[in-house]
Chains A and B, each alone.
Chain A
């Protein structure tokens, strides 16, 4: 069997009579970025929900490092090393930034009640654990420039910052595969520029493979290695950014009959 890093085979799921995702297949190479594009309601987020275990697909398989992970519970998927963010930020709004990030590390924290209660000396087991986790947190905070928000309750922070915190929390899980659902939604041009920079950084530095849902075409064309285009749940094209830009099917369905300015540019 071909050992791809991540592969989705003939994934289908329907709600009532509606086929939300219809036989979608794609493969993702390690340490690359694949973007899923398509109009609103095309089934992009549904694909994410199937991968992360929130929905169980009607048919098809999801393979991660050669292992079939279809239909596993969300916490098991997280344990395999797949983290995600949501389109409408899902944070623990009455906790601070740091606490949110720490919760991303939930799976990695091994301290039980007993070793936690004996947290006295600097080199006790619990203390060493805590220091290790804090170091990782600081790294993420540095990476995303979140220093100022560290001890603030996330509910009161600006939208863009909340999006970054969610990204940070996903990174705290130390994922091998990161699913980003419209990370730039609601951001202004400047914030989008930063985000592109950060995503590239994350990929270089943390060696994470990224699956991205994004509407901003400039961003998609800029950072994707491969692009998958879907419409009404069906796959209408897959390939490199250049191939997608010249795929007549995609142009027709997604960008309209006319060529848009940012495609020709």
Chain B
């Protein structure tokens, strides 16, 4: 049973890790937690669903279409709402993301709200392999592989591409980036687009095991946020590890202690981390010298 729980923990942890990753990428550049993240990935997942179910497109076309939509949505939010804010402080930016969240939620409820859909997926949750004592579904494996692949791509992107390095530079010092010929505004838009696409991947990996309705990402968003806080809001690797740790702890708690109270674990962890290691488990405590 222990092994089985860990397997499920890793599987759900992958989703948390992706959400946390999307959140941290934004937080590092714009210094704002994006609370519209969940609804943005929910909407992108619905776009994939619409392309699949209503327009009969292939999986490849639908998923690519949803990712392109997600990037556009992220860029749209940054360009149309956040950039217009005059002398924004963090609180007003958070409120903008919350407002955007409600707008998307409203649109999704109006368009798809009534019935719960099941999301068709090329990999099944019912085809299984036995790994030692545990049962692992193909979907579990696919989720893990997709997450790892995405992280590898991100790592290569930030390490070796000109755009990735410009993004990293903008995160570390926007003033210096601008003065060295980096178009910081464009970088910001792209960051939001990229984060939105990562969130969309999380949504599409989650949809086949959950039911597709406008509440799809509500719980994972909070868990992803908790993971990001756990790992440290400023480190990509940390947030991913945070996602897996949270997934595993939560599943173990559900298995051994109480299934009903499974969800409170995440919040308990947030409180504990904020009390004892506010910068997160894996972040170097970073104090800006004035």
Interface residues of A (CB under 8 A from B): 52-54, 73-75, 78-79, 83-84, 86, 90-95, 99, 102-104, 106-107, 109, 111-113, 116, 169, 173
Contact = CB atoms under 8 A, between A and B. Distances in A.
Rank and list the top 5 A-B pairs by shortest CB-CB distance, nearest first: A78-B181, A107-B181, A74-B178, A90-B176, A92-B172
B180 A95 contact: no
A213 B175 CA distance: 19
A112 B163 CA distance: 9
12 contacts: A52-B179, A74-B179, A75-B183, A91-B176, A92-B177, A93-B173, A94-B172, A103-B176, A106-B180, A106-B182, A107-B181, A169-B176
Interface string B75-115: 00000000000000000000000000000000000000000
A106 B175 contact: no
Contact of A75 (B162, B169, B176, B178): B178
B153 to A, nearest CB: 12
B175 A86 contact: yes
A89 to B, nearest CB: 9
A104 B176 CA distance: 9
Given A106-B162, A113-B161, A116-B160, A78 B180 contact: yes
Interface string B169-198: 100110111111111100000000000000
Nearest to B186: A75
Contact of B166 (A95, A106, A173): A106
Contacts of A116: 160-162
Contacts of B178: 53-54, 73-75
A48 to B, nearest CB: 10
Contact of B173 (A53, A54, A83, A90): A90
Given A78-B180, A84-B179, A173-B181, A92 B173 contact: yes
A194 B184 CA distance: 34
Contacts of A106: 162, 165-166, 169, 180-182
A109 B172 CA distance: 20
B289 to A, nearest CB: 9
Interface residues of B, number: 19
A186 B159 CA distance: 34
Contact of B181 (A79, A86, A92): A79
B173 A173 contact: no
A73 B168 CA distance: 20
A73 B187 CA distance: 14
A112 B160 CA distance: 11
A103 B172 CA distance: 12
Which interface residue of B160, B172, B179 has the most chain A CB atoms within 10 A? B179
Nearest to B183: A75
A78 B178 CA distance: 8
A173 B177 CA distance: 12
A86 B181 CA distance: 15
A54 B180 CA distance: 12
A119 to B, nearest CB: 9
Which interface residue of A54, A83, A90 has the most chain B CB atoms within 10 A? A90
Contacts of A93: 172-173
Given A90-B173, A106-B169, 5 more contacts: A52-B179, A75-B181, A86-B176, A109-B162, A116-B160
Which interface residue of A75, A84, A94 has the most chain B CB atoms within 10 A? A75
A126 to B, nearest CB: 11
Nearest to A76: B181
Which interface residue of A79, A83, A91, A103 has the most chain B CB atoms within 10 A? A103
Contacts of A86: 175-176
A103 B183 contact: no
Contacts of A109: 162
A39 B168 CA distance: 37
A73 B177 CA distance: 12
Nearest to A102: B165
B235 to A, nearest CB: 11
Nearest to B172: A92
Contacts of B166: 103, 106
Nearest to A82: B179
Interface in B143-165: 160-162, 165
A157 to B, nearest CB: 13
A99 B158 CA distance: 13
Contacts of A103: 165-166, 169, 176-177, 180, 182
A90 B184 CA distance: 15
Given A92-B169, A92-B172, A169 B162 contact: no
Given A103-B169, A104-B180, A173-B180, A90 B162 contact: no
A145 to B, nearest CB: 22
Nearest to A107: B181
